[in-house]
Amino acid sequence: MEFKKYSAELIGTFWLTFGGCGSAVIAAAFPHVGIGLLGVALAFGLTVLTMAYAIGHISGCHLNPAVTIGLAAGGRFPFSQVLPYIVAQVIGAIIAAAVLYVIASGAPGFDVVASGFAANGYGEHSPGHYALGSALVAEVVLTMMFLFIIMGATHEKAPAALAPVAIGLALTLIHLISIPVTNTSVNPARSTGPALFVGGWALSQLWLFWVAPIVGGVLGGLIYRCLSCTKKQ
């Protein structure tokens, strides 16, 4: 049973990374019919929405180390399962980046470093050249709100069938806000896959996209846990 959960997380995170980063690498600026920032934001949201319906009943559809840790902090997930979930998520993201690299490298003149390969960054590697401080605040706050929404949407009193819609739209909104700032992480696994192929600057800045989302996830989980407890009293 546990193996099925880990496998579901691997497949789900593969889909999130491949679908979201793939839309950015392959389709965002395609001549004349590029989907642009709005399209990429929607693609990330759709990956979560579709996988929530596909594997939510198997693993909970975390697809994100920050979500797993945040749910554990919020009392919704056992700490004993955090590490294997994260391992499965990171493996799924790396496989997705590898498949995306194989596809993208078939285009004439493709250069993984020059293209950025949907890697996350700050300073000169931020799409809008936002500084480290701005990137840190954005990633913490947006991941915090993402966890807050996830915990609210999956609360026992919330309509269960609509939870994937709320969560998917939340991730879409998060990307609409922060693609110019960091290329949007809020997910350490999603950040790790592309960074391994870009190397150099992407790997040197990867620490931020582990630290900030995890801090934000824990804050979001704890805040909702306190709010929920207050309401029951």
Q: What pLDDT does 30 receive?
A: 66
CB atoms within 10 A of CB 115: 16
Average pLDDT over all residues of the chain: 94
Measured CA to CA, the distance from residue 20 to residue 49 in angstroms comes to 12
pLDDT tens-digit map of 19-76: 999 999 999 876 666 789 999 999 999 999 999 999 999 999 999 999 999 999 999 9
Question: What percent of the chain clears pLDDT 70, i.e. is strictly above it?
Answer: 97
Q: What pLDDT does 52 receive?
A: 96
Q: What pLDDT does 45 receive?
A: 97
Say whether pLDDT at 231 is over 50. Answer: no
Q: What is the DSSP string of 92-115?
A: HHHHHHHHHHHHHTTSTT--HHHH
Q: Residue 156 — pLDDT band, cuts 50, 70, 90?
A: confident
Q: Which domains does the chain have, with CATH numbers?
A: 1-227 (1.20.1080.10)
Q: Is 137 exposed, middle or buried (0-12, 13-18, 19+ CB in 10 A)?
A: middle
